[in-house]
Chains A and B, each alone.
Chain A
Amino acid sequence: MAAKTENQRAWFFVIPVILLVAFNAIVPLMTVVNYSVQETFGNNQFFWSGVTWFEETLKSERFQAALGRQLLFTAIILAIEIPLGIAIALSMPRSGPWVSVCLVLMSLPLLIPWNVVGSMWNIFALPDIGLLGYTLNAMGFNYDYTQQPLAAWATLIAMDVWHWTSLVVLLSYAGLISIPDAYYQAAKIDGAGKWAVFRHIQLPKMKRVLTIAILLRFMDSFMIYTEPFVLTGGGPGNATTFLSIDLVKKALGEFDLGPAAAMSLIYFLITLLVSWLFYTVMMRNEGEES
């Protein structure tokens, strides 16, 4: 064979992408890194401060509380949305005219923008005039999400479940309908019960899409901002002040750029680390050589 021709022209084609990524991800990230290691007293004068902000942030009770609330919130919505999504996907028809009806119904919540969802539920759950709030109070429950932390949490969780369970349903359903009929037929002949079919056929075939669903829901709920901002503004008190709300308060409300930048980076690293850990664990048995 002739010697491989070497030229650098390929770079030419890659450059636009590199520039794009640089401008919308790397450059902003680096500004944040820059802020996170400096101190300023105004006048655009900055002083090197090393890892002070990181230490301070990690030690602060305020950050720890927000992180705790964040983790709890994400854990709760994952624990509800994933099983519920699978259950709904399992009960959807596999063929026939109802399939498209179900799919459209399921897609509807996903099409509504975050802030609209927040406003909708804000009004829907108002204790005096909202349909949900009024009904609950009329039924004898003392419910007011603007005053009671528990009610605020319940409302936020209900809202997130309503908004995002569909995503899990659609992904699980895509996994389910890709299972050939022969699997179900073989299972029948092998005498497998409903549970065994779920455990050994449906769940393994859904594993990849479920991994994606969990990752998406984890990242999205971990970074939740708009809905609690619109619904509760982080209250009552600090009850629903999750990480991103806290961050915005700090960065824009108090203009503490250094600590806010340090917090962003910690936040970013936690998200990245959990996602990576989870993905690695889920995929550890895939792709062994045959």
Chain B
Amino acid sequence: MARITLDNLRHSYLPNPKSDEDYALQQIDLEWQDGGAYALLGPSGCGKSTLLNIISGLIEPTQGRILFGDVDVTNVPPAARNIAQVFQFPVIYDTMTVYDNLAFPLRNRGVGKAQVDARVREIAEMIDMTDMLNRRAANLTPDNKQKISMGRGLVRDDVNVIMFDEPLTVIDPHLKWKLRSKLRELHERINLTMIYVTHDQTEALTFADQVVVMDEGVVVQIGTPVELFERPTHTFVGHFIGSPGMNLLPCEVREGQAFFHDSHVPVEGGKTSAAGSRLEIGVRPEFVSFASEGLSVDVVKITDAGRHRIVETRAGDTAIKLFVDDGMSIPEGTAHLAFDQNRTRVYADGWLAEESR
């Protein structure tokens, strides 16, 4: 087991990439700590699978290095890397029994019979499949098939990392939750590095200690679920995480102060160093409230979302959403908004101004 370092990684599927657009991965520098539970979160097509396949060695990166501990494994084939990977659609060996499926990675590596048996039974126990060991794998339900795929990943005790590429896509919703908590529980038990790829924020936030958010081939933020929520360092994170996502208000900055529609908006730290061609104030709906004075807006729409209501207001062309708890009154027509200063920040060209990239 080891720390995994991605150093100056770029990848293009084209033989002769020229512009940045040709790259599926723009530029990745990342460290995965030993034993961490990570989620890799991003919309479809942002390069998550590409990144996983580079770590597992199925794809050789156009540029950059992969280190396991201090060893450069960039040119090492997948079978020699000691990694395990579970794919979106369950992969099972149809002709074999569940037992043989689980034993397959061990037998291919010449592990002794007694040890194979012990490991297979242990893993079967973990994934609740002991009573199915002698069944033919081909005839199982999709979730049991996917459990076998996971089991084959877990069966080797020498792996550096086990990676899950959207493993619950084909699973029924009510089983998804069960399998995910199973994985979480397994992580606590065997303390192995796990990377869980998903485009679903709930899955990512419930599984991981650290979430790596990607967009268009770039890692935009790494942080705990709380950090991603409270302090998005990129407007993409603000928008992608949370429902609804962060409000973005086009603004001007004069002498370190932000102005929206000529009204002054106090921001975190009292002052901003933002400079760039596209400046925006970002604040989540959770941190906006009605006030007796301040920015004036028109109330446009109210949606009931259970414990609170989502109110959509408009200032000129800009929509601003806010949460109002049940029981609180909502003004009609024109109203005023206040922003929680400590959760209101300025973004320059998408990036949080106060954060060095």
Please say whether chains A and B are actual partners in one complex. Answer: yes
The interface stretch among B91-99, B117-125, B214-222, B233-241 is B91-99
B109 / chain A contacts, CB cutoff of 8 Å: 191
Instruction: Say whether A289 contacts B139, CB under 8 Å.
Output: yes
Identify the interface centre among A186, A188, A193, A290: most chain B CB within 10 Å of its CB: A186
With A and B bound together, what is the CA distance between A288 and B134 in angstroms?
Answer: 14
With A and B bound together, what is the CA distance between A158 and B292 in angstroms?
Answer: 95
Nearest-neighbor residue (CB-CB) of A288 within chain B: B139
Bits for B15-48, please: 1 = Cβ < 8 Å to A, else 0: 0000000000000000000000000000000000
With A and B bound together, what is the CA distance between A60 and B93 in angstroms?
Answer: 50
Instruction: Say whether B89 contacts A188, CB under 8 Å.
Output: no
B152 within 8 A of A: yes
Asked if A185 meets B58 with Cβ closer than 8 Å, knowing A192-B108, A205-B94, the reply is: yes
A201 within 8 A of B: yes
16 A-B pairs besides A186-B85, A200-B94 with CB distance below 8 A are A180-B91, A182-B88, A185-B56, A186-B87, A186-B91, A188-B58, A188-B78, A188-B79, A189-B85, A190-B79, A191-B79, A191-B105, A193-B108, A201-B93, A289-B139, A290-B139
A162 within 8 A of B: no
Instruction: Say whether B96 contacts A200, CB under 8 Å.
Output: yes
A183 within 8 A of B: yes
A288 / chain B contacts, CB cutoff of 8 Å: 136, 139
Instruction: Say whether A200 contacts B93, CB under 8 Å.
Output: yes
Q: How many residues of A contact B (CB 8 A)?
A: 21
Instruction: Say whether A290 contacts B78, CB under 8 Å.
Output: no
A204 / chain B contacts, CB cutoff of 8 Å: 93-95
CB distance from B188 to the nearest CB of A (A): 24
Interface size bracket, B side: 20 to 34
A190 / chain B contacts, CB cutoff of 8 Å: 79, 104-105, 108, 152
A188 / chain B contacts, CB cutoff of 8 Å: 58, 77-79
B348 within 8 A of A: no
B140 within 8 A of A: yes
Nearest-neighbor residue (CB-CB) of A290 within chain B: B139
B193 within 8 A of A: no
CB distance from A183 to the nearest CB of B (A): 5
Nearest-neighbor residue (CB-CB) of B94 within chain A: A204
A192 / chain B contacts, CB cutoff of 8 Å: 104, 108
CB distance from A104 to the nearest CB of B (A): 26
A290 / chain B contacts, CB cutoff of 8 Å: 139-141
A51 within 8 A of B: no
* Other-chain contact of B87, A185, A196, A205, A285 (Cβ < 8 Å): A185
A285 / chain B contacts, CB cutoff of 8 Å: 136
CB distance from B98 to the nearest CB of A (A): 12
CB distance from A204 to the nearest CB of B (A): 4
B83 / chain A contacts, CB cutoff of 8 Å: 189
With A and B bound together, what is the CA distance between A189 and B52 in angstroms?
Answer: 13
B247-266 residues at the A interface, CB under 8 angstroms:
none
B54-98 residues at the A interface, CB under 8 angstroms:
56, 58, 77-79, 83-85, 87-89, 91, 93-96
With A and B bound together, what is the CA distance between A242 and B4 in angstroms?
Answer: 68
15 contacts between A and B (CB under 8 A): A182-B88, A185-B78, A185-B87, A186-B91, A186-B149, A188-B78, A189-B83, A189-B85, A190-B104, A190-B105, A190-B108, A191-B79, A200-B95, A288-B136, A289-B139
CB distance from B296 to the nearest CB of A (A): 55
Instruction: Say whether B87 contacts A182, CB under 8 Å.
Output: yes
CB distance from A153 to the nearest CB of B (A): 36
B149 / chain A contacts, CB cutoff of 8 Å: 186
With A and B bound together, what is the CA distance between A254 and B256 in angstroms?
Answer: 111
Instruction: Say whether B136 contacts A185, CB under 8 Å.
Output: no
Nearest-neighbor residue (CB-CB) of B53 within chain A: A185
CB distance from A182 to the nearest CB of B (A): 4
Instruction: Say whether A196 contacts B79, CB under 8 Å.
Output: no
With A and B bound together, what is the CA distance between A182 and B85 in angstroms?
Answer: 10
A163-201 residues at the B interface, CB under 8 angstroms:
180, 182-183, 185-186, 188-193, 196, 200-201
B141 / chain A contacts, CB cutoff of 8 Å: 290
Identify the interface centre among A185, A192, A288: most chain B CB within 10 Å of its CB: A185
B87 / chain A contacts, CB cutoff of 8 Å: 182, 185-186
Identify the interface centre among B93, B149, B152: most chain A CB within 10 Å of its CB: B93
A182 / chain B contacts, CB cutoff of 8 Å: 87-89, 91
Instruction: Say whether B91 contacts A183, CB under 8 Å.
Output: yes
A193 / chain B contacts, CB cutoff of 8 Å: 108
